[in-house]
Structures are given as structure tokens and as C-alpha cells.
Amino acid sequence: MTYDVWMTVIETRAPLNRDRIIDAAVAYADDHGVEELSMRKLGAALGVEAMSLYNHVANKDDILDGMIDHVFRTIPLPDPEQDWRVSVRTTGLAAMEQFSAHPWVVHLLMQRGNFGNASLTFMNQVLGILRAAGFSDEEAHHAWQMLASHTMGYAFQQSSGSWHEKEWDGLEEQLSRLGDRFPHVVALAPLLAQCEFGTEYAFGLEIIISGLEARLG
């Protein structure tokens, strides 16, 4: 009997720890959306009661911070050896890719900001590349703000992308009803609906890189 219980325990749940909790939280958010994530549901996903999580984690915010950190850690850091334009481009695209894969990250970043290890490391690396490229501190700051805004903005639009997919069917009918009031929106609605955010982001990124380059002189 005791043995059975032991087996069950061993088989169905490895010992709980912070990493396992955060991994499960990331998976849950990927599957069901971050707003569906609750301590009870996360516990259930791990085969454990909600309160057990608190033995390994300070509180829910701690988990959310860990989730952000988890995603930032998977963004490959830019290579300082390369031309800054290449670094910025590849890093931007890599970041966008992760934000697309985990749309809830932008959501979380917005509510809480983040100064975890991974995000500071990331930021530090990018700033270093800009400074090494010859940008003054002020210019590097401008560049960072602009790149960050552009990236967050696209991730933002993508994650709130109600123009996409399912919603679009209902919207089309609604828009055709409002066609006389919003002719330009209706005209461009197909483009908005089919919008490939990766391509779109890259397009803007080139404009920004060119613009920064020009300011660099």
C-alpha cells in the first residue's frame, strides 16, 4: 500500500521545484493563455495542490517573473563580433520570434516591467553593441528605445491581433455594414487580416536601421 503510493508519487510527479513550476506555467500559458493561469490550475497541471507551489515560489508574481525570464533566456544574444546592423537585425528578429511564440510575454512585460537576469543581460548586450559601433551614450539610448518600442509594438499588435483568423469572419460582415463610415479601413481590411507580422516587422526594422545609420553619420 505504502509502496503503491510511493510508486504513484514517483511516476506521476518528479519532485517539485522552481524550474519545473515555471516550465509548467509557460506551457500552460502557451496552451490556454496567461489570463487562464491560476495557482490552482497550475497545481493541477503538476498533479499537486495549489498551496504546494508556495514551498518553491514566493507568490504568483514570482512565477510570472520567472516566465518572462524563461523566454528572454531563449533569445540568442547578439554577436559582438558582427557589424552592428547585422546584430541588431538578427537580434530583433530573434526577439520577435520569441514574442510571437509566447504572446503572453508582452502582456506580462507591460503589467510589471522586468529586470530579471535574462532581460538585463539581453539589454546590456545590445547596448554594448551600439556603443561599440560608435553611438554616443545618448544615441545608443535613442536607438535602444526605438528598437525596443518597435519590437514591443509589433509583438503587441500581433498578440492583440483581432484582425486575424477567426475574429475576421464576424468582423468582415460588421465592416461591410460600416463600409460607408470607414471606407479606408474596409479597403485595407484584407491586408490587415492577412498581415504577416514577421515580414512587417522586418520592413520597419530596416527603416529604423537606415535611419539610425544616417544619424550616426
Partner DNA sequence: CACTGTAAGTGTACGGTGTAAGCCTTGTCA
Partner DNA sequence: TGACAAGGCTTACACCGTACACTTACAGTG
Which residue ranges make up the site for DNA (CB under 7 A)?
A: 2, 5-6, 15-16, 37-41, 43, 48-52, 54-56, 59-61
Whole-number minimum distance, CB 193 to its own copies, in Å?
11
Whole-number minimum distance, CB 70 to DNA, in Å?
18
- Tell me the three state secondary structure of residue 164: coil
Whole-number minimum distance, CB 73 to its own copies, in Å?
15
Q: Residues for the chain: how many in total?
A: 217
DSSP E strand stretches across 78-192: none
Whole-number minimum distance, CB 196 to its own copies, in Å?
11
CB-CB contact of 86 with 206 (8 Å): no
CA distances from 50 to 43, 44, 53, 59, 71 (A): 5, 7, 6, 11, 24
- Return the one option of DNA, its own copies, none that residue 171 interacts with (CB less than 5 to 8 A, by type): its own copies
Q: How far is Cα 69 from Cα 118, in angstroms, rounded to an integer?
A: 5
**Smaller CB distance to its own copies: residue 8 or 174?**
174
- Return the one option of DNA, its own copies, none that residue 54 interacts with (CB less than 5 to 8 A, by type): DNA
- Return the one option of its own copies, DNA, none that residue 40 interacts with (CB less than 5 to 8 A, by type): DNA
Which residue shows C-alpha cell 537606415?
A: 210
CB atoms within 10 A of CB 84: 22
**Smaller CB distance to its own copies: residue 17 or 176?**
176
The binding site for its own copies (CB under 8 A) comprises 35, 106-107, 109-113, 115, 120-121, 123-125, 127-128, 131, 137-138, 140-142, 144-146, 148-154, 156-157, 159-162, 171, 174, 178, 181-185, 187-188, 191-192, 195, 200-201, 203-204, 207-208, 210-212, 215
**Smaller CB distance to its own copies: residue 36 or 49?**
36
Give which of 54, 67, 123, 118 is closest to 91, Cα–Cα: 123
**Smaller CB distance to its own copies: residue 21 or 151?**
151
Element (H, E) at 14: none
**Smaller CB distance to DNA: residue 15 or 217?**
15
**Smaller CB distance to its own copies: residue 85 or 142?**
142
Which residue shows C-alpha cell 493541477?
A: 44
Whole-number minimum distance, CB 118 to DNA, in Å?
22
Give which of 38, 40, 63 is closest to 51, Cα–Cα: 40
Give which of 127, 140, 150 is closest to 205, Cα–Cα: 150
